[in-house]
Amino acid sequence: MACDIKIMNTNKLNKRYIIVIIVILFIWINSILPSNVSSEQSGFFTKILSNILDALKANYEPSRVSVFIRKLAHFTEFFLLGLSVMYAEHFKFNRKYILHLGIVVAFIDESIQFFVPGRNMATLDIFIDYCGYMLALGIVYLTKFIKEKNAPN
């Protein structure tokens, strides 16, 4: 019976890591997209934000909105990666690789873009990626710390 429980826990753990793998693949697949396809995708969200800014009668440069959307996409992808890693690890920081995984995935992500026509490798994007990743880890850690501190003894 104890063996069955151990196998069941291992399967749950494996399923949790499948989510991490899916998020990483999503990130890297987006990096493989040619620049025109990537621009189309971000253009959709740029139009939405531009329409909102127009409705608010805000003064803005359309090119800056596009850059903001692209950087926000980087940040968001890696924020989701951070959340998925913490979910896979049962919201614990007991493994050293957790801190390194975000920067490694970000570096590979940008390296992929280096070889895609019309795209380039940007150090700033690695930094933005890692900030999104670390914010997710920080929010999870802080939430867990507050819950544990406020839990009845």
Q: Does 25 reside within a domain?
A: yes
Mean pLDDT of the 27-31 span: 95
Q: Report how many domains make up the chain.
A: 1
Q: What is the DSSP code string of 56-118?
A: TT----HHHHHHHHHHHHHHHHHHHHHHHHHHHTTT----THHHHHHHHHHHHHHHHHHTSTT
Q: Is residue 8 over pLDDT 50?
A: no
Mean pLDDT score of the chain: 87
10 Å CB burial of residue 129 (0-12, 13-18, 19+) is buried
Task: Provide the pLDDT for residue 40.
Answer: 86
Q: How far apart are CA 141 and CA 75, in angstroms?
A: 18
- Position 129 scores a pLDDT of 97
Q: In the structure, what pLDDT confidence band is assigned to residue 7 with cuts at 50, 70 and 90?
A: very low
Residue 55 included in any domain: no
Distance, in Å, from the CA atom of 116 to the CA atom of 136, rounded to the nearest integer, reads 29
The answer to whether position 88 is within a domain reads: yes
Q: Is residue 127 part of a domain?
A: yes
| Number of Cα atoms under 13 Å in the Cβ half of residue 5 | 2
Residue 41 lies in a domain: no
Distance of CA 96 to the CA centre of its chain: 19
> Does the pLDDT at position 140 exceed 50?
yes
Q: Are 28 and 74 in contact (CB under 8 A)?
A: no
Task: Find the angle CA(107)-CA(24)-CA(81) to the nearest 5 degrees.
Answer: 90
Residue 37, amino acid: V
| Of the candidate ranges 42-46, 74-78, 125-129, the one whose mean pLDDT is the lowest | 42-46
Mean pLDDT of 26-50: 90
Residue 152 domain flag: no
What domain range includes position 119?
Answer: 2-34+70-147
Residue 3 has what pLDDT?
45
Provide mean pLDDT across the span 50-68: 90
Which long-range CB contacts under 8 A does 52-55 form with residues at least 24 apart?
A: none
pLDDT band at 110 (very low <50, low <70, confident <90, very high): very high
